[in-house]
Chains A and B, each alone.
Chain A
Amino acid sequence: MAGCSYIVSMVAPHHDPLDEPSDEQLMLAYGKGDARAFELLYARHNGTVYRLVLRSVADKSVAEEIYQEVWLSVVNARKRYRPDAKFMTWVSRIASNRLIGHFRRTGQWEPYLQDAGEALEECAAGPGYHDPEAMTHINRQVARLLFCVEQLPPPQRQAFLMKEEMGLTLDEIAAMLSAGHEAIKSRLRYAMSRLKACMGDLL
């Protein structure tokens, strides 16, 4: 939360978790014109949304563009928001639609939907991965994992990030990616297999 610590201190100087309004309450308040409610909401979730987008898309500039579009969509839809689902599920859906739209435009989605989850032993030596000697073991593990996530086919990567980053359930992910429960389950299974293989002896 380093990037937005100034926002947190600005909008919530005395933080009492027991008195905190829920995400849904904040979003409803923002829909009624309370800009401070949005600031608090944004401070809570900007990192999660940013990481989801950044780790889904290889290009950082594209990721930042999509990230901004996601939040602008939230802002523009403030009056239509209904707390039927959790706020973050709603935001995840917006982000997911943007990301899948990007993958489809760049031809990175459909070809991977039937992926059988072949092993990715070769990814360990792939380009873009740096393993400085100065890194601690845990840092090397994390860096390696992020590299491996980046190597996953987009449908598996999306399923993995939505589970790990957004904390969504299988059914929520299935609804978001317009797939069946079993399909998502197998995507996640393949994703984990690939990641294990990619991590090698670092795991």
Chain B
Amino acid sequence: MNDDDKLSGLYQQSRTDEPPMKLDAAVLGHARKAVARKPFRLSRWLAPMAAVATVMLTTSLIIVMKSEHPEVMQGNVVTDKLISPEPMTKEASPATVESGISRDQAAPARSRMAPAGEAAPQPKALQEERLLKAMPAAPAARDAASDMEKEKKAEGVTGAAVGGVSGNTAGKAPAAVMKKQKVLSPEAWLAEILRLREDGRETEVAENMQRFRMQYPDYKIPDDFPIK
């Protein structure tokens, strides 16, 4: 064995030193801590959970409103105006202002127009005029209504109204028809419903009657009107 090998052999016999236990503990502690799972912290999840809860609540409310109050979801003109954040003129919201109902009090009543109407009964002509003024697309709506009135005068109530609306809108989308229907007077609207019935569009007849009753809950439908 040469001297190099002797030195190597001697060195191997010297390999007995070990790190003190405090160093082992420190290193192992750090190593375990580095891969330890972070504990669940409520504050970290609070904001996302609140956001999710808000979205779910809002979605549920929309679904419930759609199924139970479709007229509200379809944008009933009068009720929309009642809860509008924009300042309302006395003319735009006659029932609310005249009966002294505050805006906050008026909001829950968005789907029950009848009580407000009953609380402040008004002549039908005045009601209709105010309704027309409250329309978002007032000029266009008024034009449409006046067209109907003109046609009514010229051709007689039933035939003229139905012919005017369905004739002009026969090829248009149903939404456009519905929008135009909103601004009709009760009489014109009923005339149009009759016209729809003549065309055999029973689904639309039923839908329009339902909407009509919601729009004009206090309007007395003539006894001789064939649709109940």
If A67-B19, A141-B10, A192-B7 touch, whether A75 touches B24 (CB-CB below 8 Å) is: no
Among B29-37, B113-121, B140-148, the stretch in contact with A:
B29-37
Instruction: Tell whether A3 is near chain B: CB-to-CB under 8 Å.
Output: yes
Q: Are A203 and B7 neighbours in the complex by a CB distance under 8 Å? A: yes
In the complex, what residue of chain A is closest to B17 when comparing beta carbons?
A: A51
Q: Are B28 and A7 neighbours in the complex by a CB distance under 8 Å? A: yes
Q: Are A72 and B13 neighbours in the complex by a CB distance under 8 Å? A: no
Q: Are B23 and A51 neighbours in the complex by a CB distance under 8 Å? A: no
Q: Out of B7, B18, B19, which one reaches A199, CB within 8 Å?
A: B7
Among A42-50, A96-104, A114-122, A178-186, the stretch in contact with B:
A42-50
Bound-complex Cα distance A83 to B17 (A): 28
Q: Are A64 and B17 neighbours in the complex by a CB distance under 8 Å? A: no
Bitwise, B168-209 to A at CB < 8 A (1) or not (0) is 000000000000000000000000000000000000000000
Q: Are B26 and A75 neighbours in the complex by a CB distance under 8 Å? A: no
Instruction: Tell whether B44 is near chain A: CB-to-CB under 8 Å.
Output: no
Q: Are B24 and A7 neighbours in the complex by a CB distance under 8 Å? A: yes
* Distance from A72 Cβ to chain B, minimum over Cβ atoms (Å): 6
How many chain B residues have a CB neighbour from A under 8 Å? Answer: 28
Q: Are A75 and B31 neighbours in the complex by a CB distance under 8 Å? A: yes
In the complex, what residue of chain A is closest to B11 when comparing beta carbons?
A: A164
Q: Are B31 and A195 neighbours in the complex by a CB distance under 8 Å? A: no
Bound-complex Cα distance A133 to B166 (A): 124
How many chain A residues have a CB neighbour from B under 8 Å? Answer: 40
Bound-complex Cα distance A42 to B116 (A): 82
Q: Are A68 and B35 neighbours in the complex by a CB distance under 8 Å? A: no
Bound-complex Cα distance A169 to B24 (A): 28
* Distance from A141 Cβ to chain B, minimum over Cβ atoms (Å): 5
Q: Are B31 and A67 neighbours in the complex by a CB distance under 8 Å? A: no
Instruction: Tell whether B87 is near chain A: CB-to-CB under 8 Å.
Output: no
Among B17, B20, B36, chain A packs the most CB atoms within 10 A around the CB of B17
New A-B pairs, 6, CB < 8 Å, besides A38-B28, A42-B24, A141-B10: A2-B16, A33-B35, A35-B32, A78-B34, A142-B10, A142-B14
24 A-B Cβ contacts within 8 A? A3-B24, A4-B18, A4-B24, A39-B31, A42-B24, A46-B19, A47-B15, A47-B17, A47-B18, A47-B19, A54-B17, A64-B19, A67-B19, A67-B23, A75-B31, A76-B34, A164-B12, A165-B15, A192-B3, A195-B7, A196-B3, A203-B6, A203-B7, A203-B10
Residues of B within 8 A of A (CB): 3-4, 6-8, 10-21, 23-24, 26-28, 30-32, 34-36
